[in-house]
Every structure is written in structure tokens, then in C-alpha cells.
Homo-oligomer: A and B are copies of this chain.
Amino acid sequence: MATTPMKPLQVGLLGIGTVGLGTWTVLRRNAEEIARRAGRPIRITWIAEKSIERARELTQGATDVQLTDDAKLVLANPDIDIVVELIGGIEPARTFILQAIANGKHVVTANKALLARHGNEIFAAAHANGVMVAFEGAVAGGIPIIKALREGLTANRIEWIAGIINGTSNFILSEMRARGASFASVLKEAQQRGYAEADPTFDVEGVDAAHKLTIMSAIAFGVPMQFDKVYTEGISKLTQEDIRYAEELGYRIKLLGITRRAAAGIELRVHPTLIPTKRLIANVEGVMNAVLVKGDAVGATMYYGAGAGAEPTASAVIADLVDVTRMHTADPEHRVPHLAFQPDQLSDIPFLPMGEVETSYYLRMRVQDRPGVLADITRILADREISIDAMIQKEPSEGEDQTDIILLTHRTVEKHVVDAIAKIEALPTVKGKVVRIRLEELN
């Protein structure tokens, strides 16, 4: 090999926002320790940032870095070995990454939205140009979950993954449960504390989790990324009473991203989910993330940590930089394939439409307190072969003639439940809509 071992690896950073600054800071603070691991120093020598002012302020007059507001200068610079894209969003990030790849540069990115939507195009370009695109920071922040799935569990046929992969939603659910507060009031507080964006849709409606789930699913099952196949349902309609009834039944409600290899295809879904309180993952609170992976040989393993934030995400970005540093002069055949499986070995297993998914359900309905109501409801369920696992029927409050019935079903097919709910809602003794939340035992 022609490289001198201790020549620094030169990194061009695109974007010095929260994670960009974290990467800059950690790479300098731990420079010596990182070089001892990587075998050579890793240095950010160029930063492209829309506001050079901002970049100058944040780098505090460091003289060993060039600043520019023109990303193309970084992408075209022959001295740069690796481009780190931390701009986020689809454009111009996509164009910059494809340009970097075309210029023969390796890429490290934490851009989950981009990979979930354009990952297939990007990885194909990387493969054609013989470069690496590393993306540990794109899923679950500092938790090395991509490495675990792609390298740590290679012996396994992965059966399913269930993850708390959006810290904002988990913080809101934790606070709603702990303090008995409403979704709206906790969201407001999360926004004040900087845990939620002014427009929280991406986080609370499950879009961000769906991006991360798309990436994990592709790696786990050796399929192309298909973000448009994710069923997505957020937490904004969850109420205190459902959280309390779930607790009474021994369950906790979490926003889970779930992907499972079922007989007929791959499930890919993000939704609020009742999970048994005794499971470790049910006890992951606040902004923390955790991913539970079930493999046929290893059984259940779980990975827990900070899913966002400047330095946790920088930890993942820099781990990728060290991996790329080790491998960047090696033959591509020695590298870990981008999507865990060799690119010519991807599978075309179909994704399952949500109606075909099999899971359990929590159903809550408001009914008139009179004889025969329960019989009508259970008859509708039985006709669709939906069997009941547990039930709560409350005494009506003083002077009221309406009450709540809560049912937990055994595993059944979603479309049958949708059908049963329509029939139940049509009963004259049932008031309003039936609340339906999915339930997973995760065993």
C-alpha cells in the first residue's frame, strides 16, 4: 500500500449544525484516543456551511480548517478522503452525496430521511464507484444498532425488530403516563425544552420513526429500502384513559417501529403499541431510544442509548469515520456490504399491506349499560374468529347509564378487526368511535 500510516485522513464536513458541531468537537477533544484506535489521525480540514460567519464562530478561529459556503469546493477537493454530510433533508444533500460518490469519495451521513427515500439510488452509485457510504448516525443516534444488525448478528435469520426510535414521542408518552397530563400539554412543554420542533409532525406522527425503520428493515431482511410501504400512525390521538387502562391490564403504550418477517411478506409499521410492563423495553423512558431484535439463534437482544443529540450522534458519525479510515484503501470485496447482504443477493420478498398484518388489539368502546350489549359485541368478534384475551367493564358513574368496555384480543388479522369495529360502531348501544391500539407481547 502506498499510504504512509500516520498521514491524517482528511474529512470535508458539509453543514455545521447541531450534529456537525458535535462531530467537530468530539473529533478534536478525543483526537489522540481516536488516532490510537484508527491507526492514523482523522481531521476535518474543510467545512462547507451556508453561513461562514456561523462556521467561523463555532470553530473558534481554528487555523487548520478551511471554511467555505460552497459545498462544491469540498466535493471537488482532491485532498479530501471522506465527505461527511450533516445538512439533513433531501436537497441539496442528495445532490452533494451523489457528487461526492461520483468524485470517488467515501461518504458518512446521518440523514435518515434521505436514505429512506433515496437510499437505493445512493448505494447503487456507491457500489458502482467503489466507495463506502456509512450511516450509523441515521438510526437511533449513538446506539451502534446498524453495526449490530449488519455485523453483530450475521449468523441469524432475523425474525423481527421492534424499536423505540423517536425520542420526542417517547418523552411525551413517558410524561403523559408519569404526570397524568394530556398530549397537548406535554407537547407544549417538550417544545419549550427543545425536545420537540415547532412543527412536531415528523416526530409525533411517526414519520421520523418510519425513516429509521425503513433502513433497519432493509438491513435485517436483505431487501431494498421501500419507505412508501411503511404504515404510519402517530401518538397525537392517545388519551390519558387509554394509558391508564393499559396500565391496569399490565401494559405500557410506546410508539414502536416494528418490522417482521411473516410467512406472506415483511411487516413494516409504526404505531402506538401496548407492550407488557415487565418487558425491559417497556421501561425505556424519556428521550432514550431502544431497539429490540429477535434472531433465530441469538434470541432477543436489545440496544439502548441516546437516540439523538449533538455528541451521541457525533459518536456514531465518528465510529463510521474510523471504520472508513481502516478500510478506505482496501479492496471493496473486503468491506461490509452497505445493506448487510451482498448487493447481488438482495431479496424481493414483498411487504405486507397493513390489512394482512397479524397482531393483537386493545379495543375501548363506550356503551350503554344494559343487558345484551356485551353479547352483541362478543358475537361480532366471534363471527370473525377474533378471540378475547382479557376484558375490563367498568361500573357506570353515579347517575350515568354509559360505561367503558375494554377488550384485549388474541392475535388476529387486521382487516378482520377493522371489519368488526365497523359493525360494533353500528350497534345502537355503542356510542361514538371504538378506540383501537395494537398490542405486541414481544416474546
What is A's interface to B at a CB cutoff of 8 Å?
Answer: 1, 5, 22, 26-27, 29-30, 33-34, 36-39, 136, 142-144, 147-148, 151-157, 222, 280, 283-284, 295-306, 311-312, 314-319, 322-323, 326-327, 329-331, 333-337, 340-342, 345
A1 smallest CB distance to B (angstroms): 6
Q: Which of B34, B284, B333, B345 contacts A36 (CB 8 A)?
A: B345
Tell whether, in the assembled complex, residue A295 and residue B315 are in contact, meaning their CB atoms are under 8 Å apart.
yes
Tell whether, in the assembled complex, residue B280 and residue A297 are in contact, meaning their CB atoms are under 8 Å apart.
no
Q: Which of B148, B153, B222, B315 contacts A298 (CB 8 A)?
A: B315
- With contacts A1-B331, A284-B280 taken as known, whether A304 is within 8 angstroms of B306 at the C-beta atoms is no
B-side contacts of A30, CB under 8 Å? 155-157, 296-297
B-side contacts of A345, CB under 8 Å? 36-37
Which residue of B is nearest A141, CB measured?
B298
Tell whether, in the assembled complex, residue B38 and residue A155 are in contact, meaning their CB atoms are under 8 Å apart.
no
Tell whether, in the assembled complex, residue B314 and residue A297 are in contact, meaning their CB atoms are under 8 Å apart.
yes
Tell whether, in the assembled complex, residue B334 and residue A330 are in contact, meaning their CB atoms are under 8 Å apart.
yes
A26 smallest CB distance to B (angstroms): 5
Tell whether, in the assembled complex, residue A319 and residue B142 are in contact, meaning their CB atoms are under 8 Å apart.
no
Copies of this chain, complex-wide, total 2
A81 smallest CB distance to B (angstroms): 14
Pairs A–B under 8 Å by Cβ, sample size 12: A26-B155, A27-B155, A30-B157, A36-B341, A37-B222, A144-B153, A155-B316, A297-B312, A298-B305, A298-B316, A300-B305, A330-B331
B-side contacts of A222, CB under 8 Å? 33, 36-37
B-side contacts of A155, CB under 8 Å? 26-27, 30, 34, 314-319, 322
Tell whether, in the assembled complex, residue B34 and residue A154 are in contact, meaning their CB atoms are under 8 Å apart.
yes
Bound form: Cα–Cα A311–B153 in Å:
12
Which residue of B is nearest A150, CB measured?
B37
A246 smallest CB distance to B (angstroms): 19
Tell whether, in the assembled complex, residue B340 and residue A37 are in contact, meaning their CB atoms are under 8 Å apart.
yes
Tell whether, in the assembled complex, residue A147 and residue B154 are in contact, meaning their CB atoms are under 8 Å apart.
no
Which residue of B is nearest A148, CB measured?
B144
Bound form: Cα–Cα A342–B40 in Å:
10
Bound form: Cα–Cα A298–B156 in Å:
27
Tell whether, in the assembled complex, residue B154 and residue A37 are in contact, meaning their CB atoms are under 8 Å apart.
yes
Tell whether, in the assembled complex, residue B157 and residue A33 are in contact, meaning their CB atoms are under 8 Å apart.
yes
A28 smallest CB distance to B (angstroms): 11
Q: Which of B27, B154, B280, B330 contacts A283 (CB 8 A)?
A: B280
Q: Which of B153, B305, B311, B337 contacts A319 (CB 8 A)?
A: B153
Q: Which of B151, B280, B312, B330 contacts A330 (CB 8 A)?
A: B330
The 4 A-B residue pairs with the shortest CB-CB distance, nearest first, are A144-B152, A155-B318, A301-B305, A142-B298
B-side contacts of A326, CB under 8 Å? 333-336
Tell whether, in the assembled complex, residue B147 and residue A5 are in contact, meaning their CB atoms are under 8 Å apart.
no
Tell whether, in the assembled complex, residue B37 and residue A142 are in contact, meaning their CB atoms are under 8 Å apart.
no
A326 smallest CB distance to B (angstroms): 5
Which residue of B is nearest A340, CB measured?
B37
- With contacts A155-B322, A322-B154, A322-B155 taken as known, whether A301 is within 8 angstroms of B303 at the C-beta atoms is yes
Tell whether, in the assembled complex, residue A37 and residue B341 are in contact, meaning their CB atoms are under 8 Å apart.
yes
Residue among A301, A312, A326, A331 with max Cβ neighbours from chain B (10 Å): A301
Tell whether, in the assembled complex, residue A39 and residue B333 are in contact, meaning their CB atoms are under 8 Å apart.
yes
Tell whether, in the assembled complex, residue A142 and residue B297 are in contact, meaning their CB atoms are under 8 Å apart.
yes
- With contacts A298-B142, A333-B1 taken as known, whether A318 is within 8 angstroms of B37 at the C-beta atoms is no
A63 smallest CB distance to B (angstroms): 24
B-side contacts of A27, CB under 8 Å? 155
B-side contacts of A156, CB under 8 Å? 26, 30, 315
B-side contacts of A280, CB under 8 Å? 280, 283-284, 304
Tell whether, in the assembled complex, residue A302 and residue B305 are in contact, meaning their CB atoms are under 8 Å apart.
yes
Bound form: Cα–Cα A154–B147 in Å:
12
Q: Which of B39, B147, B284, B299 contacts A142 (CB 8 A)?
A: B299
Q: Which of B147, B304, B318, B329 contacts A304 (CB 8 A)?
A: B304
B-side contacts of A295, CB under 8 Å? 142, 315
Tell whether, in the assembled complex, residue B148 and residue A342 are in contact, meaning their CB atoms are under 8 Å apart.
no
A319 smallest CB distance to B (angstroms): 5
Tell whether, in the assembled complex, residue A301 and residue B333 are in contact, meaning their CB atoms are under 8 Å apart.
no
B-side contacts of A311, CB under 8 Å? 296-299
